[in-house]
Each structure stands twice: as structure tokens, then as C-alpha cells.
Amino acid sequence: SRAASLLPQLLLRRRPASAGAFALLARPASSASGGLPPLTTEIHPGIKRGAFSQLTDADVSAFEAIVGGDHVIKDADEVLSYNIDWLRICRGQGQLVLRPKTTEEVSAIVRHCNKRRLAVVPQGGNTGLVGGSVPLFDEIVISTSRMNSLLSIDPVSGVLVAEAGCVLEQLDREAASQGLMMPLDLGAKGSCQIGGNLATNAGGLRLLRYGSLRGTTLGLEAVLPTGQVLDCLTTLRKDNTGYDIKQLLIGSEGTLGIITKAAILCPARPKSVQLAFLGLDSFQAVLDTYRLARRSLGEILSAFEFIDSESMRAVKQNLGLSCPLGEHSFYVLAETSGSNETHDREKLDGFIESVMSMDGCATDGTVAQDAGQFAHLWSLRERIVESLLVDGYEYKYDVSLPLADIYRLVEHMRTRLDGRVIRTAGYGHLGDGNLHLNFTTPKFDAKVLELIEPHVFDWVRDRRGSVSAEHGLGLKKSQYIRHSKADFAVRVMAEVKRLLDPNGIMNPYKVLPDE
Amino acid sequence: SRAASLLPQLLLRRRPASAGAFALLARPASSASGGLPPLTTEIHPGIKRGAFSQLTDADVSAFEAIVGGDHVIKDADEVLSYNIDWLRICRGQGQLVLRPKTTEEVSAIVRHCNKRRLAVVPQGGNTGLVGGSVPLFDEIVISTSRMNSLLSIDPVSGVLVAEAGCVLEQLDREAASQGLMMPLDLGAKGSCQIGGNLATNAGGLRLLRYGSLRGTTLGLEAVLPTGQVLDCLTTLRKDNTGYDIKQLLIGSEGTLGIITKAAILCPARPKSVQLAFLGLDSFQAVLDTYRLARRSLGEILSAFEFIDSESMRAVKQNLGLSCPLGEHSFYVLAETSGSNETHDREKLDGFIESVMSMDGCATDGTVAQDAGQFAHLWSLRERIVESLLVDGYEYKYDVSLPLADIYRLVEHMRTRLDGRVIRTAGYGHLGDGNLHLNFTTPKFDAKVLELIEPHVFDWVRDRRGSVSAEHGLGLKKSQYIRHSKADFAVRVMAEVKRLLDPNGIMNPYKVLPDE
């Protein structure tokens, strides 16, 4: 059918810039006005500039000699966009942006900076959500945007090798031309870069199915804070020769070096994508349905998202979207991606039948029959953020919890904030144990924020959850690292940081708390 | 059908102790005699004992106070089995074995050893193939065998948490009771321990489908060489709070610490397993068939093994096994594991039809119709090692190479050794780029060995391959680390080692070359 043949394309189109990782944090009201965000140093007056050198004309000349004058940006207006993050909640005071083209240029720049003790910030697509990719003080921005060559794709092994500045969506298109797909998919795919994806260990919408970048990244090249090039750019699936040093770079958020190239293992592109939408009356039913989905859909399950009634109400009331099912406490989107449409459809039908016949599971459900329904059902999940903003001010959290605790946190906070907020809404990637927890008030309310933080982080800590499921720590959450990591583990991290970055020049003030 | 219902069980049974990782190295003739292998120090006289303390009675008393007298093994006969590796090619001179029950006991032991500068060797199931799990001199063996409690399995999230000494097969059985499976499968599963699997980043037969332990290990607890406990035992799929320190332990072969607990993400157990056996007339056809398998079998492909004609001849001539296909240059075993037998069978049939109709691809093929055929077809692959031993002496290599180079190495070596060997046989996990390369002579021939080593390692290095695809470096391959890793990467590894193990007590003489 026409609809069916559209589905693979829709899989790519149905996720606008507001979706995925970006669905977790709304653009704050201050940015809607279009004015400049305040300087980050004004918001965080406690953070003091490190003992770094000041940039001199001689430094600038040295950089011009390395990358060429055209790629040294000094103009304040031009530099500004590199100082402000995507959410427009951070503004740094960087004065210089360097746009190297090669690993050798990055190496020469960093070597110079390390010798001169000049602090730097690596920057990819600048789509991070925790203030990790922009300067705080006068750190030099090293942009990977010009390092955007696809180096190779092997259709037999499925291995793609690319420079760090390649945009994720572009790589996915190249992979598609070989019957492959990138193993990760984010709302920011149109501007995020693979180097930044790796530096932040981006999760995204396909993690449930294709696993984390720690498994799908085969090789990596990076410039360490001393300027030395760490070449681990293998394309081999199996290589047990020594410690896997590249894993330190993955998820280090640019604090241990600048990733310059990567080799990624790409799965085969699905030929069929199916979507079921279910109504359920308890969170236990959501968990039971997930277990059933894992068993009956097994190898083709590609997403399992849940939405609570408060979130659904926001989408209906605030955006006027219609829900094809009646009132339920919870809704689930279960997506399959496979290589055979007939088989996938049969599996999905079988899954739905079991769910419907299982006591206390789903009580209502529908399957997308065409591309329009497919897109509409996904919009009920993807437009939640937007709908919540209509309430006024939004307080947003992105946590991982053991599955059994996920919705308890929502209920606990709902009780705690009773009468003080318009709504407490919970939804997210159930398959990943990743909850998006949101509260709304007509306008910013410091008292509400005080009731939320650090209480919500403490609650997550007490259940061994993660205070940052997929966004990283950056500047904004680094003081909460001990909520999710043991003291001693943080000490080991700090020792690794000192080992690789003795002068502390690489993306300072980020990830690790100030000691 | 009865056969079909047997298949899931067969998946577990069809891999005897000789298969998988163990298929790569034969028990040397010397061990067949049943005598003791020579001391490793006699074979490697160049390796000098480190500046460690000598064990004293006071040390033994301290250990007895920690683990209890019953779990301090001093009797020379009893200690002997801990000194000899599975292949019986290494024999150490350890005098003491400690069998702690808890992380706290391991921590107390290691703390004492670090203070006293006593060298230790962590030992799990002692099934390693590169001499990494036994002492060389008088290192104290710390066995994890008594730390064998399964701590939890969550049927919804699929997360299993276990102590390091749990045997892989036992864990897989426990997982099966919840509709899950362990994401790795090895020939040694009946005795290898999950802690050792992680310490060596074991690959095995399911890697093609379920990915590496770097992706499926969610959490880990380990005792570092200072005795401090690194608690990264999260069960979360997503947790981006700081550097992923646990990855350093995975694949460190016990040189950076002793893994004590692990949290593993288990996939759903397949309900159907299918097997196709194909004859092909060129290695290019093998590669083309693999590409086709990735595309048409996609999500259900669980193994793709190739066998060359020389290997097949050995199985037929030396073991009298029959091959259901005629003479071909290559044979392929393509296995599927899925959740729906009808669908899987249809996919497999479709794949075979495309392969047969594609010019220059497979020219002959069959599909296992019952459990007997299934087992017989697998035996043609799994009994190659055994069949080669019948020739006399076997020289065995386990390398990773870019797919295009895999069989070039076999052809190259066949030419190089022409007239000097009985046969040059190549087979392995094509899907993982993992070649098992074997040569046979009537008896050990030093001249042949000289023609092979280091030439074969150099050839692999020149193509950016890995000199150890899945076995690790241990004692036997540590001097070849620079063949697969850049100098600077090895230096960083050495620095990490010094950082975590300042006294060098943790499994000395292994992985990193002596500087």
C-alpha cells in the first residue's frame, strides 16, 4: 500500500527538532523574547575563572598560522553564537573561535593552548542541553564544523568512518544509500555532529533497539589535552588488545579531549515500520505490557514510550490534538522496525491480541493504518513539551530509574507539589527506564523550584537512579554527580582527568564538580 | 513439530567444550601425555620477577583472619591446578590460593597485598587461552569461585545482577527461566565465570547479534589494586553522569582490578532457531552472501560462519564426517534466532532463494529440517579444531581483519608455507571479521613456526587488523600489543595502569609489554 511504502521515510521525518532529546527541556520563556540570555557567570557567581593565561595577539597569530586567517573568528558578533547554547540559558565570554579542518590542525592548536595554558571548549553542533558546549569565561572555542568528510562506508561490514563534524542526519542519509542506518536517532539530528554525539554518549530514540554508542562505536581518533593524537580508529568488531581507552572519551563531554574521527557499526535499514497505540489503567499494566512486548515483538521492537493522563490532557487541552482512545491513566506507543512488513504486522497483531486478552493489561488500542495515523499517533507523544509550555513556566527533569520506581517518582512529586502547580506530568522512554518529569506553573515560582530541587535528585539518588539519563552533566548538573556516582568513582574520574589533562585546559568547569 | 521444539534447547547444547573460543587453540601434544607442562618461567626466561615481597607466615595468618582458614589453600597439590591454565601450556609457581566469599573480603585481601607489595592473580573459571589467569612466579591466586550468588533478575527490564564467580551457563539457565538469555555464549560456558568474561571482554558466538559486553554491561563493581571498592553497579540503561570508568575494567584481563559483581542486560530468549548451509565458489561470493544475509535476515541473523575447503576436507578425511553438499571452495552456516518460527523460516527461505538466484553467489545449499540435521551441520564447523589435530601438530591464530582482507591472509600464508605444511585452513566468524587461521605439520617444526611468526602478526598489523580478536593478550601476546594499538595508545594504557595500580601488584607480566 501507499501508506506502507511511506513508512520508512516517515520514520525519518516524523521527528521534528522538538522531539527526542530535545523534548526534555523547553526553551525558557526568557529566550522567547529574543533578547540575549544573561552571562552564565552572573547566574553562577560562585564559579571562579581558572588560573589560565589571557589570550594575546601572538596566540592569535599562532592560530592563524595553523588554520589560516579565514578560520580564526574574532568578530564579536560572529563569536556570539558560539557563546550561547541551544536552549539560550548559557552565555559565555569567549573571544575567539577556531575552525580547524584536520586532526593535525586540532593537534597543533591544542598543543599550543596546553603550552600556553589557554582554556578551550570543543564545540560540535552546539545542541547540548546542559551548557557543556559553550564557554563560561574566555575559553577558546574549537569548532569541528569544517571537519565534515565522510571517510568510508563498507556495505558488507556495515562500518561507517567519518570525521567528527559530520552532521548525524547527513550520515544517516549516506548510510541509507547503502541499505544501512545510523544506530542512533535524535531530535537534533539535523544539526548535531557525530563527534558531539560521541562526546556526550547520546542516547536518543533508537537506544532500546540498537544499544548505546559504547557498543556501536568501533573506533575513535581524538586529540588529547596535551595535543597528542590518540589513534584508536579501528574498524574491527573484535579487538581485545589492551584497555579500551576510547571509552574514556565517549561521554566525557569534551573534558578529556576532542574527538576527531569515529568508526560506527551501522545496522541494516528497516524495510517496515509499524506502530501500536494502547490505553492502560495502571502503571503496573504498562510494565506488564512492556514485558509482553519484549517477548512477542522481541527482535523488531524499536520504541516503547509511555504517556500519563496528565501529559495527554495537556496535549488535548493546550494543543487541541485528538486522542483516538478514551480516557486512560496511561498510554503506550509500541513501534516495530523490521525487514518484512507482513511478518511485522502479524507479530504486532499477535502482541495486541495477547495484551488485550491479558487481565489488567491494555484495555483499549489501535494500530496505525496509514502514514497519517502514524504521524498523528507519534505527535501525541512528541508534542507534550510544547503543550506543557502553554501552561506558562515549565520545570523539566530527565532521570533514569529502576522500572518499578519510575512512576512512583511522578506520584510522589504530585503529592508534594499538590495545589502549587498546574500539573505534574510524566512520560518517556520506558524501554530505557528514562523518565521525563515535568511540572508547570503560570509563571516561574522560586518556592516551587525549592520544593523540587534538590529533593527530586535526592529521591533519584536514594533509588540508585541517574540524575542525567542522556543529557550529560555539563555545567548545569556537575554538582549533582555524587547523586548518581559513588564518591570513590568520582575520585577516580578526577584522577583520570588530571592524568590526561594536567593543566586542566580542556572544557573546564564541566562534568566534574569543583573540589 | 518435534524437531522445531527441540531447537531452542539445541542452541544451548550444540556447543561442546571444544567449540567457540576454544576452537581457536588446540591442546598441545605435550598435554596429551598427561604430564605437567614446563614452568612458564622456563619457557620465558627473559621475564624477571618484579620487586614484590615474599609471602610470610604473618601474611598467611592475615589472610586466614579475612577469609577463614578453610578458604586459604596452601597444600601444593591443591594449589597446582590453580597454577596451570586450561590449555596446559603455562605453569606458574604460586604457593597460595585465597577463596573469598564477599567483596569486602576481596577488598581486605587486596588492601593487605598492596600494602605488603605482594603480587596477585585474579582467577575465575581459569578457561583463558593466553596465560592470563595463572601465576608466572609466586603471585597469590584470588579465586572468585565462591562468589557465586545470583543477586537479581528483573524480567521486565531484562537486567540480571550477579556476583563475579557465577558460571555463565548457570546464569543463562536462570535467565531462561525468565524468558531471557545471556547476551554471550562461549564454548567454555560450563566453567567460565561472568567476572572472567567481563575481565577478558569475551566475544563468543552471539556477538554478531547481541553486541559486545561493552554495550550489554550496565553496571560493575570491582576491587581496585589499592583495595578500594569501585561501585559502578547501576542497573540503568541510560546514565550519563561522568566518565564510564567501568569500561577500563572490561577487557583489562585482571590487571586493573578484580571484578566482583556485574549487571548485564539480557535479551529475550529466541523461540525459534533456523540453520542454512551453503556452498560457494569464491570468497567474494561469501562476502556477497553475507551482505544479502544482513539485508534479508536483518534482525534475526544470529550467526554467519564460514569454512574453507581445506577445513572441510580435514573434517571429512580425519573425522569421517559427511558433508551434504558437493565440493566447494567455501561453505557458510547462516543461523537465525527469532520469536516466530513461521516468519523465521519464511525469511530464511527467501534469503536462500535470493542467494541462489544471484550470479556468483551460493551454488548449492540446504536447510536443517530437524534437530539431527541441525546438530550435524554445526558439527562440520565445530569439529574443525579436533580434525586438524589429527594431522599432528597445529599452529593456531585468532585475528580480526577488514572483511576484504580476511581470506587474503589465508592465501598469502598458504603460498608462503607451500610444501612445508600439511594444510593451511581458514574459517571463523565472518560476521565479526574474526578469522581462525591454522596450519598443521606431522610434528612441531621450529622452521615452520619461524616462517609464521612474527610474519602473520606483521601482515595483520599492516592491514590495521587485530592480533587478538577475542582471546586477549594475557602473557602470550602482550609483546605484540603494538601490532594492533598505536604507540601513544599503549603509553596511555601504561599510565592508566600506573594510576590505578601504583605498586603494580595486580596480575603482573600480563597485557602490557615490559618497558
Q: Give the chain A residue whose CA is nearest to the CA of B243.
A: A252
Given a cut of 70, is residue A33 above it in pLDDT?
A: no
In terms of DSSP H, where are the helices of A298-383?
Answer: 309-319, 341-357, 371-382
Instruction: Say if residue A211 is in the same domain as residue A94.
Output: no
Subunit contact A486:B232, Cβ cutoff 8 A: yes
Tell me: the pLDDT tens digits for B45-100?
A: 999 999 999 999 999 999 999 999 999 999 999 999 999 998 787 899 999 999 99
Q: How confident is the model at residue B34 (pLDDT cuts 50, 70, 90)?
A: low
pLDDT tens digits, residue range B317-326? Answer: 999 999 999 9
Q: Which of B155, B467, B489 sits opposite A245 (nearest CB)?
A: B489
How many Å lie between the alpha carbon of A212 and the closest alpha carbon of chain B?
6
Q: Quick one: pLDDT at residue B444?
A: 81
**Across the strands, what pairs with A331?**
A279, A307
pLDDT band with cut points at 50, 70 and 90 for residue B26: very low
Q: Which of B403, B484, B493 lies at the smallest CB-CB distance from A156? A: B403
Q: What is the pLDDT of residue A29?
A: 38
For residue B285, being part of any structural domain is answered with yes
Contact residues, chain A, for B229 at CB < 8 Å:
488
Q: Which residues contact A346 (CB under 8 A, 6 or more apart)?
A: B340, B343
Q: Do the chains contact at B347 and A340, CB–CB below 8 Å?
A: yes
Q: Looking at B117, B143, B169, which one is the last position of a domain?
A: B143
Domain boundary among A447, A463, A479: A463
Q: Can you give the pTM of this predicted structure?
A: 0.90
- Nearest-by-Cβ selection for A239 from B200, B347, B469: B469
Asked if the Cβ–Cβ distance from A203 to B238 is below 8 Å, we say yes
Q: How far is A33 from chain B (nearest CA, A)?
A: 32
DSSP one-letter code for B55: P
Residue B282 Cα, gap to closest chain A Cα (Å): 16
Q: Which residue of B has its CA nearest to A483?
A: B241
Sequence-ordered list of residues with C-beta below 8 angstroms from that of A75, at least 6 positions apart, any chain: none
How far apart CA B128 and CA B295 sit, in angstroms, is 35
C-alpha cell at A173: 542519509
What is the bridge-based pairing of β-strands A97-98 and A72-73? antiparallel
Q: Considering the domain boundaries, does residue B205 fall inside one? A: yes
A243, pLDDT greater than 80 = yes
Q: Average model confidence (pLDDT) for chain A?
A: 90
Is B484 in contact with A239 (Cβ distance < 8 A)?
A: yes
Domain hosting residue A346, numbered range: 272-463
pLDDT at residue A32 in the model:
40
- Where residue A386 falls among pLDDT bands split at 50, 70, 90? confident
**A124 SS3 class:** coil
Total length of chain A: 515
pLDDT of B450 strictly over 60: yes
Average pLDDT over all residues of chain B: 90
* Omega before B454 within 30 of 0, i.e. cis: yes
Give the pLDDT score at A37: 86
Q: Answer whether residue A27 is part of any domain.
A: no
Residue B349 and residue B245 share a domain: no
Chain A residues touching B211 at Cβ < 8 A: 211, 215-216
Report pLDDT for B382.
82
Candidate from B238, B250, B483 with C-beta closest to A207: B238
Between B9 and B369, the higher pLDDT residue? B369
Helices B341-357 and B283-296 pack at an angle, to 10 degrees, of 140
Q: Report the percent of chain A where pLDDT is more than 70.
A: 93
Set of chain A residues whose Cβ sits within 8 Å of the Cβ of B267: 298
Residue to substitute from A238, A289, A344, A432, interface B, most B β-carbons within 10 A: A238
pLDDT(B32) > 60 = no
- Read off the pLDDT of residues B269-301 as tens digits, 9 standing for 90 and up: 899 999 999 999 999 999 999 989 987 898 999
Distances in whole angstroms, Cα of residue B342 to Cα of each of B4, B5, B273, B347, B500: 11, 13, 11, 9, 53
Say yes or no: B455 and B314 in one domain: yes
Chain A partners within 8 Å of B340 (Cβ): 343, 346-347
Per-residue pLDDT at A11 exceeds 60: no
Instruction: Give yes or no: residues B395 and B436 share one domain.
Output: yes
Residues B215 and B139 in one domain: no
Query: What pLDDT, on a 0 to 100 scale, did the predictor assign at position A294?
Result: 82
Closest partner CB to B403 (pick from A157, A492, A499): A157
Amino acid at B317: Q
Residue B399 C-alpha cell reads as: 585475528
Q: Is A25 inside a domain boundary? A: no
Distance, in Å, from the CA atom of B181 to the CA atom of B153, rounded to the nearest integer, reads 11
Instruction: Please report the number of interchain residue pairs, chain A to chain B, with beta-carbon separation below 8 angstroms.
Output: 299
Cross-strand pairs, A273: A337
Q: Residue A18 falls within a domain, yes or no?
A: no
Structural domain includes residue A361: yes
DSSP string, B237-265: S---SS--THHHHTTSTTSS-EEEEEEEE
| Segment among A133-137, B14-18, B172-176, B216-220 with least mean pLDDT | B14-18
Tell whether B136 and B176 lie within a shared domain: no
pLDDT at B16 over 70: no
Q: Would you call A472 and B230 a contact, using CB atoms and an 8 Å cutoff?
A: no
pLDDT at B361 exceeding the cut of 90? no
Same domain membership, residue B164 and residue B87: no
Residues of A in contact with B474 (CB under 8 A): none
Distance CA B83, CA B98 (A): 13
B109 and B184 inside one domain:
no
Here the CATH number for the domain that contains residue A389 is 3.30.70.2190
CATH number (domain holding residue B226): 3.30.465.10
- Over residues B421-434, the mean pLDDT reads 94
Residues of chain B neighbouring A157 (CB-CB closer than 8 A): 402-403, 433
Q: How many domains does chain A have?
A: 3
Q: Are residues A316 and A217 in the same domain?
A: no
Q: What is the dihedral of CA A66, A68, A74, A80, to 10 degrees?
A: -90
Q: What is the pLDDT of residues A411-445, one digit of tens each?
A: 999 999 999 999 999 999 998 899 999 999 998 88
Q: pLDDT of A64-113, one tens digit each?
A: 999 999 999 999 999 999 999 987 878 999 999 999 999 999 999 999 99
Of B270, B298, B338, nearest to A268 by CB-CB distance is B298
Q: Is B299 within 8 Å of A299 when comparing Cβ atoms? A: yes
| pLDDT attached to residue B30 | 40
Cell output for B464: 590495521
Q: Where is pLDDT greater, at A157 or A468? A: A468
Q: How confident is the model at residue B2 (pLDDT cuts 50, 70, 90)?
A: very low
Q: Which of A339, A346, A477 sits opposite B296 (nearest CB)?
A: A339
Residue of A267, A473, A499 with shortest CB distance to B499: A499
Which of B164-168, B284-288, B380-384, B469-473 ranks highest by mean pLDDT?
A: B164-168
Distance CA A368, CA A240 (A): 45
Q: Which SS3 state, helix, strand or coil, does residue A306 take?
A: strand
Q: What is the model's pLDDT at position A477?
A: 87
Q: Do B437 and B309 fall into the same domain?
A: yes
Q: Let me know whether A314 and A389 are in one domain.
A: yes
Per-residue pLDDT tens for B209-231?
999 999 999 999 999 999 999 99
Per-residue model confidence (pLDDT) at position A2: 30
DSSP-assigned beta bridge partners for residue A393: A441
CB contacts, 8 Å: A464 with chain B: 234-236
CA distance A435 to A415: 18
* A222, A325: one domain: no
Q: What is the ipTM of this complex?
A: 0.89
pLDDT at B18: 34
In a domain, A505, yes or no: no
Least confident among A17-31, A160-174, A350-364: A17-31
Give a yes or no: residue B457 inside a domain: yes
Structure confidence at residue A206 as a pLDDT band (50, 70, 90)? confident
- CA proximity to B222, closest of B194, B248, B193, B259: B259
Sheet holding A229-232, edge to edge: A150-154, A159-163, A258-265, A217-223, A229-232
Mind telling me how many Å the CA of A136 is from chain B's nearest CA?
Answer: 19
CATH number of domain containing A61: 3.30.43.10
